[in-house]
Amino acid sequence: MSPSDTPEKGGAKRESAATESGPRHYHLLWDEELEALKPVLRSVLEHLGEVIEHWYQLYVLHFGDTRSLSEPEFRELFYNALSRNTKDLLAGDMDRYAINTIRTGELLCERNVPFAEIVASLHLYEESAYTAFPKDPPPPLEIYTTFDKLSHVRMILLADAYFRSASASAGARIQALERQATLVAREKRSIFHGLVGSSASMRRLYDRIEAASGTRGTILIVGESGTGKELVARAIHECGADSAAPFVALNCAAIPKDLIESELFGYRKGAFSGANADYLGLFRAAEGGTLFLDEVTEMAPETQSKLLRAVQERSVRPVGSTKETAVNVRLVASTNRDPEEAVRCGNLRQDLYYRLQAGVLNVSPLRERPDDIPLLVEHFIEYFNEKLQPRIPVRGIEEDAIAALMKYPWPGNVRELSNAIEGAFTFGRSPMIRLQDLPAGVAGNRSAGSLPRSEGPMAQPESSMGTFAEAEREIIARALKSTDGNKVQAAALLRISRKKLYAKIEKYGL
């Protein structure tokens, strides 16, 4: 549908024709609403540097070390994109806005940013943009609703571009991997669908991935943080008959528990405040393909129950709907815990575990396969030469540096090794990675006793601090009291989205 299509063309009824005129873009945003947003958009453009700075700080706080974009990548991509988008909107050029937003979706796909991270990041952008809204006089309350509509338009465009681009690139990548596989004997494989390693445990994993890909059954991947569980899930998808279908990933630990249900199953327009349009949900976005749920044990037990029903019945019920919708999706889940211990502790429902345990793949920690480290280092050197394009390309690594890498226990596994090599690219000034280019702990400049403990399958998260929760509850209660219970005003006062405010209200029983 083109940005200038009216609801009549799309089959939707036009509302309040006497007061609204002009196109309604993507069935959400009237021309008059876009015009009313212009003072806010001008203010956002004037404070764009501050908005990006605040947005990046929230991004780091929310995603931590799991984030996909480095600071330079984040600033370059989103500063330029938001600058173009805001200027397009101020000019009233929705066609150009759509083109530029679609290009952003393609770039995010090219950089392998998980779609769930994109959704969460745009919520963080809304919170950041509120800080740039005019203060004197403040915008009317309707502006916040209109800004939400604009965010939904952006998501529609980004999602369409992202999944079309992902489907095309996946097809090309799979063809290349299939050609590569024909050139290497099974017992000599050292690279397999993005996984790197020639150790016995890795070759067993490759065989199990191929076996698992031959069915549409549910799979559980067990391994410590940083071992590459999502790569294993992608390999299962790419080896299967549905490789051209979507692969959709969600990190259950990165999304607030109160929001996971709507992210998974979707919602109907009007299901809750801020639901200005139907949302497909990740199950239906993965139709015909694979849905990967990373760290499934971080999901609330009641949501796990609904997840089990969706898998068993092969249907989902969007939030706010009374009807089930059939889905054809293969579920792959992962955990960094011991699954049986997670069941005993109540972090994993027993009935869901019984469903998942039919297909379990274990990923070995890096310390148990040190012979794979040289291969991984070679792989990361090639990868970062292409990605970072350093002024002095890196040709290899010195012997004392590789010896230090082989001795280090790698509590953060392959992800930590990747970060160490990237750091050597950033701070090194030589065509060879030297011992002094590596992090101090890896290079041996820190005692073994001070190394961080492994975050293994048996590791348990630290208990949350009650004092922080009490302080947060008190702040939210004061905001609600000062606005006489007006949630829109309270969310603006707290500089958070209304969706997040509703989640906090439910969490603290306010």
Scanning the structure block, which residue is given the tokens 């000599």?
Answer: 188
**Domain assignment of residue 2, yes or no:** no
Asked whether residue 137 falls in the same domain as residue 191, the answer is no
Asked whether residue 306 falls in the same domain as residue 197, the answer is yes
Q: What is the distance between the alpha carbons of residues 503 and 497, in angstroms, rounded to a whole number? A: 10
Handedness of CA 398, 402, 408, 413 (dihedral sign): positive
What are the E-state strand segments in 58-139? none
pLDDT of residue 464: 39
Contact 334, 236 (CB under 8 A): no
DSSP symbol at 319 = B
Query: Strand, coil or helix: what is 248?
Result: strand
Asked whether residue 419 falls in the same domain as residue 471, the answer is no
Asked whether residue 150 falls in the same domain as residue 188, the answer is no
pLDDT of residue 114: 82
pLDDT of residue 31: 82
**Domain assignment of residue 436, yes or no:** yes
Q: What is the distance between the alpha carbons of residues 299 and 71, in angstroms, rounded to a whole number? A: 29
**Neighbouring residues of 187: CB distance < 8 A, sequence distance ≥ 6:** 203
Range of the domain at 398: 367-445
Query: Strand, coil or helix: what is 38?
Result: helix
- Among 132, 165, 198, the domain-final residue is 165
Asked whether residue 15 falls in the same domain as residue 121, the answer is yes
Contact 218, 333 (CB under 8 A): yes
Question: Exposed/middle/buried for 69, CB within 10 Å: 0-12, 13-18, 19+?
Answer: buried
Contact 131, 495 (CB under 8 A): yes
Angle at which helix 498-508 crosses helix 466-482, to 10 degrees, equals: 120
**Domain assignment of residue 270, yes or no:** yes
Angle at which helix 94-110 crosses helix 141-183, to 10 degrees, equals: 40
Query: Strand, coil or helix: what is 459?
Result: coil
Contact 410, 417 (CB under 8 A): yes
**Neighbouring residues of 50: CB distance < 8 A, sequence distance ≥ 6:** 131, 132
**Domain assignment of residue 152, yes or no:** yes
Q: What is the distance between the alpha carbons of residues 303 and 297, in angstroms, rounded to a whole number? A: 11
Asked whether residue 376 falls in the same domain as residue 254, the answer is no
- Among 337, 364, 391, the domain-final residue is 364
**Domain assignment of residue 431, yes or no:** yes
Query: In CATH, what number is assigned to the domain containing residue 138?
Result: 1.10.490.10
Structure tokens at 477: 């209660």
DSSP 194-241: TEE--SHHHHHHHHHHHHHHTS---EEEE--TTS-HHHHHHHHHHHST
**Within 10 A of 95 (CB to CB), how many other CB atoms are there?**
11
Contact 443, 397 (CB under 8 A): no
**Cα end-to-end distance, the chain, whole Å:** 42
Asked whether residue 322 falls in the same domain as residue 222, the answer is yes
Q: What is the distance between the alpha carbons of residues 373 and 60, in angstroms, rounded to a whole number? A: 28
Asked whether residue 230 falls in the same domain as residue 325, the answer is yes
Structure tokens at 411: 């509590």
Query: In CATH, what number is assigned to the domain containing residue 380?
Result: 1.10.8.60
Bond from prior residue into 114 cis (ω within 30 degrees of 0): no
pLDDT of residue 462: 41
Asked whether residue 232 falls in the same domain as residue 324, the answer is yes
Number of domains in the chain: 4
Asked whether residue 94 falls in the same domain as residue 157, the answer is yes
- Among 349, 364, 379, the domain-final residue is 364
Long-range contacts made by residues 39-46, C-beta under 8 angstroms, separation at least 24?
A: 39/134, 39/139, 40/133, 40/134, 40/139, 40/143, 40/147, 41/86, 41/89, 41/90, 42/90, 43/132, 43/133, 43/134, 44/82, 44/86, 44/129, 44/132, 44/133, 45/83, 45/86, 45/87, 45/90, 46/132
**Domain assignment of residue 459, yes or no:** no
Q: Which amino acid is at 485?
A: G
**Domain assignment of residue 337, yes or no:** yes
Query: In CATH, what number is assigned to the domain containing residue 480?
Result: 1.10.10
Asked whether residue 230 falls in the same domain as residue 207, the answer is yes
Asked whether residue 161 falls in the same domain as residue 61, the answer is yes
Structure tokens at 203: 């070759």
pLDDT digit string (tens) for the chain, length 510 residues = 444 444 443 443 333 333 445 566 666 778 888 888 888 888 888 888 888 888 888 888 777 777 788 888 888 888 888 888 888 888 888 888 888 888 888 888 877 788 778 887 777 887 778 878 887 788 888 888 888 888 888 888 888 777 777 655 554 444 544 444 444 455 566 788 888 998 999 999 999 999 998 888 899 999 999 999 999 999 999 888 888 888 999 888 878 777 888 889 988 888 777 677 778 889 998 999 999 999 999 898 999 999 999 999 999 998 888 889 999 999 999 999 999 999 999 999 999 999 998 889 999 999 999 999 999 999 899 888 888 888 888 989 999 999 999 999 999 999 999 999 998 998 888 899 999 999 888 887 544 434 444 444 444 444 333 456 666 777 777 777 766 677 766 776 676 766 677 777 777 777
**Domain assignment of residue 207, yes or no:** yes
